[in-house]
Amino acid sequence: MTDKSLSVLIPKRLAPHAPWAALRLRISERRLLLGTVDLTIVGLALWLALATQPGLSWRAALTPLYLRWFVTLAGVWLVAALIFDLYSLPQAAHPRQAVRGALGAGLMTVIVYTLTPWLTPPLLSRFLFVVFAAVTLTGLALWRFAYARFFTQPWTKQRVLVVGAGRAGVELARNLSQASGVPSPYRGSGYELAGFIDDDALLQEQVVAGAPVWGGHARLLSLLSELQIDEVIVAITNRHAIRPELLEALIACAEHGCRVTTMSALAERVLGRVPVLHIGHNLEDVFPAQDDVMSRLTAIFKRATDLTAALVGLAALGLVLPGVALANRLGSPGPIFYRQARVGRGGRSFAIYKLRSMVPNAEAGTGAVWAAQDDTRITPVGRWLRRTRLDELPQMINVLRGEMSIVGPRPERPEFVAQLAAAIPFYRARHSMRPGVTGWAQVQYEYGRSVEDARIKLEYDLYYVRHVTPLLDLQILFRTVAIALQMKGA
């Protein structure tokens, strides 16, 4: 197959679009655009509502009040947006999900903001509230629908060239080609695959995973302009095996202003996961920088917030305990609490505390097994406890004892750890920090019931280990609250 015949494999959408080049948005730019327009809409809604009241319309004397009111509004909106996961690009790219999430977050913002005293303007009339709500909900719905329709078009996508048409490159290509489907986590990420580069002569001028292999590394630099490439992705698992001439070609791409990244870095950016099957023995892709003063400050702050949150959680446990005890006695007599061995920091085992959600002695005849969907061992009360995550409240005792944190990788049972560590690369790396009552994997992925599920959840856990910050913890907590309120817990 010649270069000329290969050219017909380029979709028309990959033809040069110089006038639209500025609209080929990166992931960070997409989230910034969403957040900026969202805040502009809710701010404009409040401004218009205040303008309906002569005593509240803006004038210089009201500037300090306006600052307080609008800063508070921005804070309330950001909390609501995190709870409804509005800056998830797959959700933002799906019109129905995007509009539904925007309406939910907008309604929550209007209600919470209106009911907040002192920090918000006085509600002088129902008309002010109606204007604020109507403009907020209508504006957000229209904007999010427009984004899902127009900012997911090919001319807004970053064009990528993948180096390596092997197993890792093929998996990446398939993920990108399926990005139009709702389940695909790459949906809305804004990437358009232009093809492959591979030095294997048997693959050159062939079609792999629906994309052309344009040739070897010698063509890399020329293809940047021919295909208007924004980013080159290296899909070679063992980066130490990259030959010097390919490395020089990649450096030349960077020298000419093209971004060069690895497949593992792309997965972190798009999926919020560390792809353990595609990082080889590259330890720097698993562990965070050790000599970092912020990591020490984060650990101190994390422990202080853990202790505060644990005391609040124990108070909440005291409120729900009488009702749970009564319901258990009527529906499934037995102990209220349940103790189970789990593996924590440093691989040490400890006893975790939970409100019992299964029948007594649920594993007496089977031994340790993963809970299944619609597990018959779960009691009616236990199902409700799991869906609302209330069964985790006694773990505040573990948090106070320093065995757990509020946020972190969920601790696994010792019976499964050896099996999972043998089957999944880097599994024990999740034991480098305290396990959590909730975690990044819990809000990003469904309940794990297999080794494959455990691998995906590990990838989320390793992402958390690498990127732990108070802001990420806050996002996880808000998402956990949303899951509990929607009763989507496992």
- Write down the domain spans for the chain: 3-20+154-271, 26-150, 293-485
What pLDDT was estimated at residue 17?
Answer: 46
CA dihedral 318, 321, 323, 326 (to 10 degrees): -140
What residue ranges in 334-378 does DSSP mark as E strands? 337-343, 349-355
- Domain 3-20+154-271 sits in CATH at 3.40.50.720
According to DSSP, the β-strands at 349-355 and 337-343 are antiparallel
Q: For residue 281, give the DSSP letter.
A: T
- Among the listed residues 53, 43, 109, 125, the one whose alpha carbon sits nearest the alpha carbon of residue 76: 109
Q: Per-residue pLDDT tens for 225-263?
A: 999 999 999 998 777 778 999 999 999 999 999 999 988
DSSP 150-208: HTTSGGGSEEEEEE--SHHHHHHHHHHHTTTSTT-TTTTS-EEEEEEE---TTTTTSEE
| 62: CB partners within 8 A, 6+ apart | 56
Q: Is the pLDDT of residue 1 over 50?
A: no
Q: For residue 49, give the DSSP letter.
A: H
- Among the listed residues 295, 257, 33, 271, the one whose alpha carbon sits nearest the alpha carbon of residue 152: 33
User: Locate tokens 């691989």: which residue?
Assistant: 347
What pLDDT was estimated at residue 66?
Answer: 94
pTM: 0.84
- Among the listed residues 184, 150, 160, the one whose alpha carbon sits nearest the alpha carbon of residue 26: 160
User: Locate tokens 């959600």: which residue?
Assistant: 357
Where is average pLDDT lowest: 1-10, 39-48, 174-183? Answer: 1-10
Question: What distance in Å separates the CA atoms of residue 29 and residue 231, rounded to the nearest whole number?
Answer: 15
Q: Is the pLDDT of residue 12 over 60?
A: no
